[in-house]
Amino acid sequence: MHAGEMSESEALELMMTRGYQEESEARGKWRRACLTSAQLSTYFAGYTELDELFTALGDRLDYDELLAHGSPPPTLLRGVLRT
């Protein structure tokens, strides 16, 4: 979006189909991204950390256990899940 290559409709479609977000949530994220360039980088950083955690857990990944801890930062979640 900040590089000028994604339209609002493309971003909403991406968030709702691949991101499994409700339309209102996706629209809120689009609005926040328009207000500050720092917004999108935090989503990317969080995604990257979670992707590394999921890779480390591999077959041991148990989403119920993962979700039982609420939403701590991935660096703390790694210790809770003992990876």
The domain segmentation of the chain, as residue ranges, is 1-35, 38-83
pLDDT digits (tens, 9 = 90+) for 38-51: 777 888 888 898 88
Report field, pTM of the whole predicted structure over 0.75 = no
Q: Could you give the CA distance from residue 81 to residue 11 in angstroms, rounded to a whole number? A: 32
Comparing CA positions, the residue from 55, 46, 57, 48 lying closest to residue 83 is 57
Q: Can you give the pLDDT at residue 1?
A: 67
CA distance 38 to 22: 22
More confident residue, 22 or 37: 22
Look at residue 52 and tell me whether its pLDDT is greater than 70: yes
E strands, 1-83, in order = none
> How far does Cα 13 stand from its chain's mean position?
15
Q: Is the pLDDT of residue 21 over 90?
A: yes
